[in-house]
Amino acid sequence: MRKATYVHFVAIALITAVLCGVISAALYAVNAEKQTRAHLSALCFAVSRIYEAEPDVAYLSRVAEGGRVTIVTPDGTVLADSTNDAETRKNQADREEILRANEKTPITVSRRSETLADPFMYAAIELPDGNILRLAQAYAGVAGGIVRQLPIVGIALVLALLIAAFTANGFTKKILQPLETAADDIAAGNYDALAGGGYYEVEKIVRKIKTLLDKTHRARQETAAEKEKIETILSGMPEGFVLLDADKKIQLASRSAQKIFRCDADVVGQDLSLLTRGRKIAQSVRKAAAENALGIFDLPIDGAVYSVRVSPVSQGDLVASGVTILLVDVTAERAAQSLRSEFFSNASHELKTPITSIMGFAQMLENGWGDAQKSAEICARISAESKKMSHLIADILTISRLESGTAVAETQRVDLGEVAHAVTDALAFQAQDALVTVTLDCESVFVHANKQQMHDLLNNLVDNAIKYNVPGGTVAVRVAAQNRGAVLTVTDTGIGIPLAAQSRIFERFYRAGTGNAKAAPGTGLGLAIVKHIVSSLGGEIALESTEGKGTNITVRLLDARA
């Protein structure tokens, strides 16, 4: 800075000297021209007065201090000239001074002589006899005057340069020393010691610098606080968050994002590929940066499903200054969606069979197929299929309410032994038709629950035990109190459940793959309803089954009262 200031100071001094010299020379030349015009005009006037007494142009030239004297007629004819013969002179009618000459005041004109090819200043006046007297004197003009002053101007410039070079060094040191001291104090962090060295202008600059430093310091503190706040928020977010700049470099990556992508390295300032090489994310980022387009899609990562939202950070309608990536774990939600889709698909399939049967039987009746006995059989089949469909719809509505949590069941003190007797009585005819013996071993165990739900729970368990039994088989229903809880056990000697199917037996619409199980009537929702009722009461359900030997299902309910 010191060298630059020194050079600038010398340059300014030199330029100033040059301008002053040129302006002075120009002013001198202009002033000299004015003086020359005045002198030549006065001399021309004096010679015109002598001409009446002595018309000899040679004499007049000596009187005019050696100037060239010419006598010209009004039509431009040269009568006499102190330097050339009149016969060799050209006509002067077109000369400005001849055209403008009058008898009162000499007219002065500067131009180059066509005859002598030299610059002259002319003065012309009209004589009493009507002719014109013209006096010419060599004169180089303003430019010539300036040129004559150049040596003097050059000497002045050299002196000015020497003086500026000598004084600039000390002046520069004196001016810049306070600023250099202030810069050293700023670099050392010693802001309180900042001073201006006695110069008002420097002190003003230093004060502004101190104000700026204070604002910068406060801004840094606020930025650090905001950064800490953002990092705290991001570290607590289960969602993954990544911020990219316009060059798609990572500016911020939350811990969750690094955990999702299994990246432990410091990725700030790095390319996105260091965090993830997912092609779909990279394509969406490029599109967001180039087209300001929002990208939303699901992405499976390590067995989980994430909803990825790639958004441009825009400064305008067409310019993206960055891109954000938000990853939300939607594994459970997508699984629920899949279950709902499967549920509706299975429900539609289960409803389609009785509806198709009813439509077919109705068409048979409409067409008058068969006699009265056949029509009665068809009506019985229609009634049976309608009841089947009604039970299916009722079960679908029940499990839908249980799964959604919208079913608000009114609880009361329910005697499970009483419910068990009611259920077995209701299913007595079904057991008799299936040649299955149902036995009861029940205590009066009271629980706080919804009585209808308890009835549905036992009804589904006993109904399944009868349907999936064998002729001559048995079903044992037991209700007992245990550790301030109730235990419900339903054991049958039926066909049993294959080991591979036991983990799925409580799923909606799932039917074990054995032929007898498939042939048994039912909606496939009974055990799913049982599971949801037990779960809503905070209980547990256990299954033990051996294919070909039978099944035992145990339900334990807590907070029961004997």
89 vs 36, residue with greater confidence = 36
Helical segments of 52-140, H only: 57-63, 96-100
pLDDT averaged over every residue in the chain = 77
Number of H helices, E strands in the chain: 14, 17
Residue 117 Ramachandran class (φ > 0 left, ψ -120 to 50 alpha, else beta): left
Q: What is the pLDDT of residue 421?
A: 92
3-state secondary structure 115-177: CCCCEEEEEEEECCCCCEEEEEEECCHHHHHHHHHHHHHHHHHHHHHHHHHHHHHHHHHHHHH
Q: What is the CATH number of domain 237-329?
A: 3.30.450.20
Most confident of 81-85, 287-291, 552-556: 552-556
CATH assignment of 409-557, given 1.20.1560.10, 3.40.30.10, 3.30.565.10, 3.40.640.10?
A: 3.30.565.10
The candidate with the shortest Cα–Cα distance to 239, out of 253, 225, 229, is 253
Angle 33-34-35 from CA coordinates, rounded to 5°: 90
Report pLDDT for 32.
77
Question: Residue 18 above 80 pLDDT?
Answer: no
Closest CA to 352 of 392, 323, 319: 392
What is d(CA 506, CA 531) in angstroms, rounded to the nearest whole number? 7
Closest CA to 12 of 237, 189, 165: 165
Cα separation, 32 vs 28, whole angstroms: 6
Contact 92, 115 (CB under 8 A): no
Residue from 296, 347, 285 nearest 320 by CA:
285
pLDDT in tens, 338-378: 656 666 666 665 666 667 777 776 777 767 666 667 777 77
Three-state DSSP at 327 gives strand
- What whole-number distance in Å separates Cα of residue 78 and Cα of residue 87? 8
User: What token pair was written down for 112?
Assistant: 């180059």
Q: What is the pLDDT of residue 173?
A: 65
Which pairing describes strands 250-253 and 540-546: parallel, antiparallel, or unpaired? unpaired
Higher pLDDT, 144 or 91: 91
| 8 A C-beta contact, residue 399 and residue 339 | no
Tell which wins on pLDDT, 410 or 243. 243
Residue 182 in this model has a pLDDT that exceeds 70: no
pLDDT score of 255 more than 60 = yes
Pairing of strands 68-72, 78-81: antiparallel
Cα separation, 437 vs 475, in Å, equals 6
The reported pLDDT for the residue numbered 475 is 93
Q: Give the pLDDT of residue 471.
A: 93
Q: From residue 313, give the alpha-carbon distance in Å to each of 67, 186, 316, 318, 325.
A: 88, 37, 9, 11, 10
Tell me the three state secondary structure of residue 3.
helix
pLDDT category at 87 given cuts 50, 70, 90 is very low
210: Cα separation from own chain's centroid: 34
Q: Is the pLDDT score of 271 beyond 60?
A: yes
Instruction: Answer whether residue 150 shows pLDDT above 90.
Output: no
Angle at 96 between CA 93 and CA 98, to 5 degrees: 50
Tell me the pLDDT tens digit for each residue of 153-181.
677 777 777 776 667 666 666 666 666 66
Q: What is the value of pTM for the model shown?
A: 0.40
CATH topology of domain 334-400: Helix Hairpins (1.10.287)
The secondary structure of 438-482 as a DSSP string is EEEEE---EEEE-HHHHHHHHHHHHHHHHHTS-TT-EEEEEEEE-
Rounded CA separation 106/93 (Å): 17
For domain 2-145, the CATH superfamily is PAS domain (3.30.450.20)
Q: What pLDDT digit, counting tens, does each position of 117-143 carry?
A: 567 888 888 888 888 888 888 776 666
**Rounded distance between C-alpha atoms, residue 195 and residue 207, angstroms:** 8
The confidence band for 293, taking pLDDT boundaries of 50, 70 and 90, is: confident
Percent of the chain with pLDDT over 90: 7
Mean pLDDT of 389-417: 68
Pairing of β 437-442 and β 474-481: parallel
Q: What single-letter amino acid sits at 280?
A: K
- If one compares 253 and 117, the residue with the highest pLDDT of the two is 253
Is the pLDDT confidence value at 560 over 50?
no
pLDDT in tens, 437-485: 999 998 888 888 888 888 888 988 999 899 889 999 999 999 998 877 8
